Every structure is written in structure tokens, then in C-alpha cells.
């Protein structure tokens, strides 16, 4: 078995007072990292988490700051530097749940979700990036969600979580030259947020309910934490990737672009042409491209201009 060690590393974990974040903080500490456990100002549970980590022989410090603000994001990075003298790992986990059908969402629900799920990782990682660049090393683990595949009653949440995948891929490119690897997880676990704010209409989708209940016995945060610890370690050499953790199954998540239909050169394309060729546009039987950057798709299409693939 591979030895994944975080000895002499310092990690920031946002949203650490309960649920997934608490599990991540404990796992990172057990792997040897000193942990800055972050939670909202006025929230409880951080001191207890720090005491538990220290009771197991680890090192930790609490940092109460609202990371959905620029100053709050900087504060958690500053705490790591002030208390432990360095920073190596950022785990952007802080989140809330505000459910509701799309047409019923008010500004307060939309802003709350976008602020904590999308803007907070930006603020924390912006503060951390110069530190990691100076180190010549860093690991950033962001939190997406399989709601990004689509879920009624969570359109705003799904939009934010889909945005995290794009953010992750772009930061991976910007950090590569300085040894900063950036990945994201799509965690599935039963948390208090899910219990306190159920998704409307969930029980009406009986197929989903059946599948959910089958997996429910393994909806433990502790099954997600090992993936996060691996991605936060030097053992991980991947960057710009997304990984699902669901019921003890771990899998890569990726964008794919079909081979599609290449229209005739120098010919106008009409909506009718698209309608006639829609099966070619959507077919995946002939293979697909998994781009790591926008250039990959451009290069794939540019190659068609030199071949004989132009359609009739």
C-alpha cells in the first residue's frame, strides 16, 4: 500500500466545523498535516475539532472568518502563516444549502449560494497562490458536486458547482509552472445541511429515491476524506481533474467533446443543416475528446482543415 504522508505540511480547511470539512481536517491531521480549521464567525465546533486533533497528537488551530469575503479568505491564509509559518495545502470546502425551484429563488438565496460556493474558493485561493508560488509547491482541492450534472430544486447550487470545475481546470494551468496542483472532488455524504433543507420534489423522483436509499448506508464523510487527503499530498501528480466519491466508489469526472459534424468549407450553415446532422453532432460511438484546456479543442478542429473530413 502506498504511503501517503503529509508530515511537515500545513493545510487550510474551510467549513471545517462539521460534516465533510470536519472529516477532512481529521484525516489530514492523521496523515501528519498541521491544520487550520476554518468556520464562519460566531460558529461553534471549531474548538472541539482542534481539541480532538490535538488529543490524537496532531497540530491544529481554529480560524473563525467568513471566507465568502476577500478579507475573510485572506484571514485564513494569514492564520496559517502566523501560527505555523507556512502553507502547503488549501481545501476549499465551505458551503451551505439553500434549496428551491428556479422561479422561486430570490436574490438572497442566489447570492448566498454563489458567494460561499464559488466566490469563497476564489478569495481563499487568491490569497494562497502567491504563498504557494514562493514555496514552489502546493495542493489545492476544490469542492464541486454531482448536482452539476443537473438537479431540479438546486439550479443555483448546480451552477456554482459546475463553475468550480472550470475554476479548477484554469487554476491548474496557472499553477503548473510553480508546482501547484489543483483538483476538485464531487463528494456525496449525508450532512446536516441536507437534513435541514430538503430538496423540493426529491421524493417524487422514485428512481432517484430508490438509488439514493441503496447507497445511503455508505453516505459517510469518512469515505470521502481519503480521496481529499490523497489529492492534498505529494503522492498526487494529477492536476485539473475532478473526482466523484459516491458510496465508496471513486471515479474520474470529465468533459467530453464528440467528433461531431464538420461542415463543408466556405459554405453557409443553416439551422436546417444542424437539424439534419444532429445525430452526428451528438453521437459518441465514434469516440470523443477529453480536453485539458481550451487549446485542445481548437487543435482538434484545426486538424480537420488539413484533412478530408469536411462534410457534404
Active site residues: 157
SS3 246: strand
If you ran DSSP here, which 8-state letter would residue 199 be given?
P
Rounded-to-10 torsion of CA 173, 176, 180, 185:
40
Type and span of the H or E element at 71:
helix 70-84
Q: Burial letters for 30-63: b for 16+ Cβ neighbours within 10 Å, e otherwise?
A: ebbbbbbbbbbeeeebbeebbeebeeeebbbbbb
Chain-centroid distance of CA 30 in Å reads 22
CB 124 within 8 A of CB 90: yes
The residue with cell 494569514 is: 78
**The three-state (H, E, C) secondary structure of 247-293, written as one string:** CCEEEEECCCEECCCCCCCCCCCCHHHHHHHHHHHHCCCCCEECCCC
Rg for the chain, CA atoms, rounded: 22
Amino acid at each position: 500500500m502506498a504511503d501517503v504522508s503529509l508530515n511537515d505540511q500545513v493545510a487550510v480547511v474551510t467549513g471545517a466545523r462539521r460534516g465533510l470539512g470536519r472529516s477532512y481536517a481529521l484525516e489530514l491531521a492523521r496523515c501528519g498535516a498541521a491544520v487550520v480549521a476554518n468556520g464562519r464567525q460566531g460558529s461553534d465546533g471549531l474548538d472541539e475539532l482542534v481539541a480532538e486533533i490535538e488529543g490524537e497528537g496532531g497540530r491544529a488551530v481554529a480560524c473563525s472568518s467568513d471566507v465568502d469575503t476577500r478579507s475573510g479568505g485572506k484571514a485564513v491564509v494569514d492564520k496559517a502563516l502566523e501560527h505555523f509559518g507556512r502553507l502547503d495545502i488549501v481545501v476549499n470546502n465551505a458551503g451551505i444549502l439553500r434549496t428551491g425551484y428556479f422561479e422561486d429563488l430570490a436574490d438572497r438565496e442566489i447570492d448566498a449560494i454563489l458567494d460561499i460556493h464559488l466566490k469563497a474558493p476564489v478569495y481563499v485561493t487568491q490569497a494562497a497562490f502567491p504563498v504557494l508560488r514562493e514555496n514552489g509547491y502546493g495542493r489545492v482541492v476544490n469542492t464541486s458536486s454531482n448536482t452539476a450534472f443537473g438537479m431540479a430544486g438546486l439550479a443555483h447550487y448546480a451552477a456554482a458547482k459546475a463553475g468550480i470545475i472550470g475554476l479548477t481546470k484554469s487554476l491548474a494551468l496557472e499553477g503548473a509552472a510553480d508546482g501547484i496542483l489543483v483538483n476538485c472532488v464531487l463528494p456525496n455524504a449525508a450532512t446536516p445541511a441536507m437534513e435541514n433543507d430538503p430538496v423540493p420534489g426529491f421524493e417524487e423522483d422514485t428512481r432517484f429515491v430508490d438509488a439514493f436509499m441503496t447507497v445511503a448506508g455508505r453516505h459517510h464523510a469518512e469515505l470521502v476524506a481519503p480521496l481529499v487527503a490523497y489529492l492534498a499530498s505529494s503522492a498526487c501528480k494529477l492536476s485539473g481533474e475532478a473526482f466523484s466519491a459516491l458510496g465508496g466508489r471513486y471515479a474520474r469526472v470529465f468533459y467530453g467533446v464528440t467528433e461531431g459534424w464538420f461542415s463543408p468549407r466556405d459554405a453557409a450553415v443553416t439551422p436546417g443543416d444542424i437539424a439534419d446532422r444532429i445525430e452526428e453532432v451528438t453521437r459518441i460511438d465514434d469516440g470523443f475528446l477529453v480536453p485539458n484546456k481550451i487549446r485542445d479543442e481548437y487543435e482538434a478542429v484545426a486538424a480537420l482543415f488539413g484533412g478530408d473530413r469536411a462534410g457534404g
